[in-house]
Chains A and B, each alone.
Chain A
Amino acid sequence: MSVQIKNVEKSFGALKVVKGVSVDIADGEFFVMLGPSGCGKTTTLRMVAGLELPTAGEIRIGGRDVTYEEPRHRDIAMAFQDYGLYPHLSLRGNIEFPLKVRGVPEAERRTKVESVAQKMGISHLLDRKPGQISGGQRQRVALARALVRNPRVFLMDEPLSALDAKLRATMRTEIKKLVTELKITTIYVTHDQIEAMSMADRIAVMKDGDMVQIASPLEMYERPQTKFVAEFIGSPAMNLLPARARPDGRMACDLPVLAELLPDAELTANPVAPAKMAAYIGIRPEHLSLVEGGEGQADFEAVVDLVEPLGQTTNVYLNVGDIRMIAVVDRTRVQAGQRVGVKVRREALRLVAA
């Protein structure tokens, strides 16, 4: 089912936590809302669930206006950050709860619970209580309970944040596989950019109650529209240099060569950064390469400040006068203090709004 969110606002007293969010989520899409804590992503999700009512705006599921409808009439499933399991019920009781309250006969419940438990690999635990299993298993139970009745929309509120890093990576791929298989529209909230990048069909980056950019993961990475997105997505973060518009329409920046290299098309490519506005010129660290000794090939010169070998790649921190930049390169022999030439991949230069 598709989900439409139209100009949705939410205030708690005088505090406006969601400021007019709009997005159309297609049927079967895996949509991720990404942002730091307090950005309004969870509140937005809870409004789609019906656990909070919007102060203004409209929410539609499958074309039907559900803005003020009770959660139980929306036919959605939700996985909570703290799992939201019923502590007094066995895992079987937990998973079959949505079926039971809908009056599904016992025999049918049994088959459904067993099949979903098998899929989640928790068949052998069904008689235990939530207090007797591990965090990862609890998350599986929560997912099983959500999946057991084939909801129209699947909502997930940071479902992996309580798990350790290794388990998180496994569950990430499992969830992605599962919902892709089932083709259920999914809205997923996280503050972890790796989760967002690896799972999403589209990402909405949120900040201060606003969706600042909605794009596919690669587009978000390649063309961040604002400084916030550029810094939030990608690690190490994008190199950003403050830039000013010049009277002739081109940009000026502290490292003039970057402004000169910036392709003309980029001046108009970013819809939120008109060329006349103060902005940043940005370049991802992997689009800077080091040139040792080869005079004339480099775009500018820099002094190596620090080298961080990570095995697969190496982070090289550079000083260009007062400007600090970072380059991600393959193995390198450069050392701290050394002067190096830096080559810029011109077509990767971006104009980023403040």
Chain B
Amino acid sequence: MYSANFDYYRPKTVAEALELLRKNKGARVLAGGHSLLPAMKLRVSSPSALVDIGRIKGLSGIKASKAAVKIGALTTHAAIAASDAVVKACPILAETAGQIGDTQVRNRGTIGGSLAHADPAADFPTVIVALGGTLTATGPKGDREIEADKFFKDLLTTALKPGELLTSISIPAYGNFPGMAGAYLKHRHPASSYAVVGVAAMVGLVGGKVARVSLVVGGATANPVHAKEAEKALTGQEPTEANIAAAAEHVAMAITHPMGDVYASGEYRTHLATVMSRRALMMAAERARG
């Protein structure tokens, strides 16, 4: 397939990129290109210009501290999946990165691109919301921090303002916190490899009881959603099979307008969300027990 023509810019710095975005109103940011280029090839998207941020130094890389892991927006899925620092400090993120697309996609696709594109079937948004990550947007006026919960606004829509660039993502290094664990489960679309439903569960145990729980469902709705009723139901409980199953029964309440397609209806996605939540919570609880 052949995309329409466009102007192409390759800034060396964030400042240059921001200036190019200011000057070219119809421009799109190109990172790994694994969401944008297929859409352009099908001529579903025909931006007048691309600002290729792939060569900007300092946008790629992983820095882990005791409390948080900071990941540059241009870091590839493959790098995240293979990072010892991530595996130790935030294992669910590495586990998720390893399930995205396929080898070739992981070698090119970036975490920033995935989050900024906000595809409902993507994996990272679900996990970042579950982790309570913080995203840094850089604009003409400097940096601005956005909570993951507030970042995803609608289908393919984020809190990024025109002219802003997502530059890094910070997530809690829960791997360093005793009693804390997570799990990400994905029902993979047999053709696209995207998540039909993805469930991220984080469980924190104190004295054998669930002190903190974060349960987020992606793929079923325009953006990932916290299964708040389920979280509430499990908090303070022992993570037994029965308690977890009872809590998971509340997941459907969070999914008010499920999406459907040829492969899976909204009703089935809601059902999958329930089953997978139960399984992800079980797995996370088991891991949390150590």
Asked if A and B bind, the verdict is: no
Residues in chain A within 8 A of chain B (CB atoms):
none
